[in-house]
Structure 1
């Protein structure tokens, strides 16, 4: 029997950490809700990390990530990082392992057919303009495709640091802790990523600056 609407609404308001604890306690429905909440974002994150050349392996890495989450349910502790950051770090580590095995540490191909709806520059546009014109939509879509290509040109470790910070809004210190890096190393990866992204996105950034 399906739960009453009020109960369903209450479940959707429960924090990820509490859902994970409930799942560890035997509540399978709690896991279903966690999966539904984060499936799309995590798959997108894995695809962007792996790039077009390893696109065929994205689903496998994605599934491995959830298997790791399931296996870790008994040892999960809701302290420190959020559940989402913890889970995305697992996805990051698995994707990076796959990249190392493939030997693709530096040169990466551009994405094709990537979901553009959650590209950072497009999300900013959506927040700035509730009802963008057709011309504005065309601009943001082109900017999104360009950003995905620029990200794919980054060394994988720099791209991973940038994407993790974007997905979670982590501070440099938190990013370093999650990746097991020194503060300066994490800071350098982000700095170098941004230094390469800015000229790569110069055409679109100049338009945004002119509008400001």
Structure 2
């Protein structure tokens, strides 16, 4: 299920007001912002880095908040929500980390469809029990493994497509907000989402096909 952005009641200040208060010296305002967004930000960073660089998640997470601290007196909404700006900062830091680790991070090759069917790099799911033959009580195990497989499939997406998918489907940003967070055009964001969904369906389909046959 797609998540929605945190809602604030009429008695709670919105993010813009909290940033303004923090810039004026109200440390408690920053603590409220942190509590409001820290879980979603850490999840985004962790999944964006993938399993290969998971150990860097804490570093990127803390560096992102440090950038918020340093920019508190300069930040202006300028049509973008604080949450969108926060994810933009995190995305920049992830790109920096991947480049420093020797990973190529380029969007040029990710915008065009090469016309070839995409295949996942591994076939480990073929050894998992088919749901149709599962014993009572094994459903939870099966779906836990399905969740693990989805994370593996996400790891195999190019970074621009993984970023777009996580922002839209995991963190609930609208497509225009995804485009703003990734600093790309609206149509580019839509294209990345379309390719991400196509590749994830291909990857997960090999695992879920036995379930469909059993049904």
Based on CA coordinates, which of the two structures has the bigger radius of gyration?
Answer: 2
Runs of 5+ consecutive residues of structure 2 not aligned to the other structure: 1-7, 106-120, 123-135
> 2:184 maps to which residue?
181
Q: 3-state DSSP class of the match of 2:52? A: coil
User: Number of residue pairs matched?
Assistant: 179
Distance 1:46 1:200 in 2: 22
> 1:162 maps to which residue?
165
TM-score for the superposition, normalised by structure 1: 0.72
Q: 3-state DSSP class of the match of 2:22? A: helix
Q: 3-state DSSP class of the match of 1:41? A: helix
Say whether the 8 Å CA contact 1:49–1:159 is kept in structure 2: yes
Q: 3-state DSSP class of the match of 1:75? A: coil
Distance 1:41 1:136 in 2: 28
> 1:90 maps to which residue?
89
Q: CA deviation at 1:183?
A: 2.8
User: Which runs of structure 2 are paired with 1:8-19 in the superposition (5 Å)?
Assistant: 13-19=12-18
Q: CA deviation at 1:35?
A: 1.2
User: Which runs of structure 2 are paired with 1:59-208 in the superposition (5 Å)?
Assistant: 59-105=58-104, 136-202=139-205, 203-204=207-208, 207=211
Say whether the 8 Å CA contact 1:105–1:156 is kept in structure 2: no
Q: Which 10-residue stretch deviates more, 185-194 or 137-146?
A: 137-146
Runs of 5+ consecutive residues of structure 1 not aligned to the other structure: 1-8, 111-132
Say whether the 8 Å CA contact 1:165–1:171 is kept in structure 2: yes
Task: Decide whether aligned partners of structure 1 residues 71 and 196 sit closer, same or farther in structure 2, where only a CA change above 3 A counts.
Answer: same
User: What CA RMSD, in Å, does the superposition of the two structures yield over aligned residues?
Assistant: 3.1
TM-score for the superposition, normalised by structure 2: 0.71
Distance 1:151 1:37 in 2: 26
